[in-house]
Structure 1
Amino acid sequence: METQQQEIVTCPAPAVDHFERHGYLFGYPIAHSYSPFLHNTVFEQLGLPLGFSLLESTDIDQFLRLIKDPRLYGSAVTMPFKVAIIPHLDDLTDEGRAVGAVNTIFRRGDKFIGTNTDTIGVRESFYQNIAEPDKLFHGRPGMVIGGGGAARSAVYALVQFMKCRTVYLVNRDAGEVDAVISWCKSQGYGDGLVHVTNATQAEGLEGPGAIVACVPNFPPSTDAEKEARRVAEVFLNKPHKGAMLEMCYHPSPWTELGGIAEKAGWQVIIGTEAMIYQGLQQHTYWHGRTLDQLPVKEVKEVIAKELAKARL
């Protein structure tokens, strides 16, 4: 039987001639993305003649042609191309290689380098919002709810940056968890990963201090989803209360799981925090400004306004 090829979606190239230099977010679908608000606010606040546009497309050849423009400072990449873009790049940073997914491209001379700033987004979401990391999560197990590339970024951040030697993985799909563990072990940061498959197992484990939730916001319906939710609730209801980063922020950052965590006494960090800090880290690669040199307050105000509009 013939397999149907998925139709390629190509959008007109965004108008960029009014910028001295420019970059894109490449992916599909991305019409809901807050990235242009974030990046263009940074450029405006710093007085830089740079711009950032959405390239909502599944045409990777189009993107590869566009980034050859010498005026391009770099780009952001999102689903479904975070892995597919890697063979087209000249090199990867340590984070890009370790996570096996790229969300940021920057130039070094005539070379295109890929990195992963999602790891920084996770890290900074905690450190910028938690007053006492030593008390809340340093030296305690971490936990990741979900699988796939987002889970790998979260595991990397918890292990490499946040002093979580053990990380629990909770997910409806055991195969996804196996793949995450296998990948992380192959890259040298997966030895402390523990797949928690049921509530009984969770009851006997030490409570985590930092949780990263990487799943869509919908009520569990299958048996596997319901068991994964029960596991999460067992951990949330243990005596130690830490902080949970809820990565899901579209269409709303206020999720069912976040509500359960808050009710159980956890501090919940909304997903736009991760989006903001991973985006600010991209600017360090694109034009060299570090976090303390970037307009964090102004970016947060702009994103908060966009969130408020989305709630109307």
Structure 2
Amino acid sequence: MPRPPIGRDTRLCMSLSARPGNFGTRFHNRLFELTGLDFVYKAFSTTDLAGAIGGIRALGIRGCAISMPFKEAVIPLLDGLAPSAAAIDSVNTIVNDDGVLTGHNTDYGAVRQLLADIDPETPFVLRGAGGMAKAVAAALRDAGFRDGTLVARNEDAGRALAKLYGFECSTSVERGAALLINVTPLGMTGADADALAFPAELIADCAIAFDVVQYPPETPFLRAAAAAGKRTITGTEVATLQALDQFTLYTGVTPTAEQVTDAAAYARANI
């Protein structure tokens, strides 16, 4: 069934980010097309978060993805939190039910899925202390990982996050681990595009390199790990899984595996 032409009954979904990308827009719109749903998705940036959230409520926008740097700042502007967001005080998804805005976190579930086949006895180093780092740290803890160090430039934020989830904390990468996870902008398109999230010697010693950075799909960290024969987990994988959960929250529809594969490939090819 083809998607109906855009009209007055078309429902809008959107995203808010300091640095909007195309993956979510392409992914959702492709799935709307494949499932024949009368929805459209558009990415936005803003310097007026309160105004943007008020607009979601006032205009009946069905759903909104939330990215850096708004995942924590948006919480006081919402009417409530789903358990996925309340557990980690971080929101990456808003669902609007007749003007009632509820925050969810689909990052957590995506990371849990990607960690599922990794032995929880594996020691890890997690670099970052922001909203996405909360989701990753919570997923690690809940998956049974115990031997880990959180590395953060902001010592207070890093120490608080590490204490919350029962891990060690450091302000620098002082030791290697079998699992290295980057949850910082290092390697992201822009000013940090050429930055290596971990020293080359630690990459050489690891077994798995996990980078949540979505743009570019292959960061310097992941390229170095792949060249050294390490297993890599990409930000695109995280983005696909979390966006799929968002799609279902917005529409109540669960696409087929074939539709998800199609939409993800379309989104990657058109970033």
TM-score, length-scaled by structure 1: 0.72
Distance 1:114 1:198 in 2: 33
Cα deviation for residue 235 of structure 1 reads 6.7
1:291–1:198: structure 2 CA closer, same or farther, 3 Å change rule?
A: same
Aligned to 2:182: 213
| Range 136-145 or range 268-277, more displaced | 136-145
Cα deviation for residue 103 of structure 1 reads 1.1
Query: What root-mean-square deviation, in Å, do the aligned CA atoms of Structure 1 and Structure 2 show?
Result: 2.8
1:246–1:39: structure 2 CA closer, same or farther, 3 Å change rule?
A: same
Aligned to 2:39: 50
Distance 1:85 1:294 in 2: 34
Q: Does 1:64 pair with 2:53?
A: yes
Distance 1:148 1:47 in 2: 37
Cα deviation for residue 306 of structure 1 reads 1.7
Distance 1:292 1:138 in 2: 30
Q: Is the 8 A contact 1:237 1:264 kept in 2?
A: no
1:68–1:174: structure 2 CA closer, same or farther, 3 Å change rule?
A: closer
Return the match for 1:237 from 196, 205, 223: 205
Distance 2:198 2:60 in 1: 48
Aligned to 2:144: 163
- Matched letter for residue 303 of structure 1: A
Deviations 1:80-113 (A, max 9, x none): 3222211111111222122222110113455211
SS in 2 for 1:67: helix
Return the match for 2:247 from 283, 293, 300: 283
Q: Is the 8 A contact 1:124 1:274 kept in 2?
A: no
Deviations 1:24-79 (A, max 9, x none): 1123332x332210111111111000111123222224323321246432211222
Aligned length: 260
Deviations 1:249-294 (A, max 9, x none): 32x2222221332234321122111111111111221122346568
Distance 1:110 1:214 in 2: 33
Distance 1:74 1:304 in 2: 22
Q: Is the 8 A contact 2:22 2:270 kept in 1?
A: no
Q: Is the 8 A contact 2:60 2:98 kept in 1?
A: no
Distance 1:79 1:300 in 2: 21
Distance 2:88 2:201 in 1: 28
1:180–1:120: structure 2 CA closer, same or farther, 3 Å change rule?
A: same
Q: Does 1:22 pair with 2:12?
A: yes
Aligned to 2:3: none
Distance 1:33 1:88 in 2: 26
Deviations 1:191-217 (A, max 9, x none): 2x1225667x636xxx43x43211311
Q: Is the 8 A contact 1:246 1:253 kept in 2?
A: no
SS in 1 for 2:265: helix
1:124–1:306: structure 2 CA closer, same or farther, 3 Å change rule?
A: farther
Aligned to 1:114: 103
Deviations 1:156-177 (A, max 9, x none): 12222x3313332134443342
Distance 1:90 1:302 in 2: 35
TM-score, length-scaled by structure 2: 0.82
Distance 1:159 1:291 in 2: 30
Aligned to 1:179: 160
Distance 2:261 2:270 in 1: 15
Return the match for 1:143 from 116, 125, 144: 125
Q: Percent identity?
A: 25
Unaligned residue ranges in structure 1 (runs of 5+): 1-15, 128-132, 308-312
- Matched letter for residue 211 of structure 1: L
Distance 2:221 2:147 in 1: 22
Q: Is the 8 A contact 1:42 1:294 kept in 2?
A: no
Aligned to 1:12: none
Question: What does residue range 29-108 of structure 1 map to in structure 2 within 5 Å?
Answer: 29-30=19-20, 32-69=21-58, 71-108=60-97
SS in 2 for 1:143: strand
SS in 2 for 1:265: coil
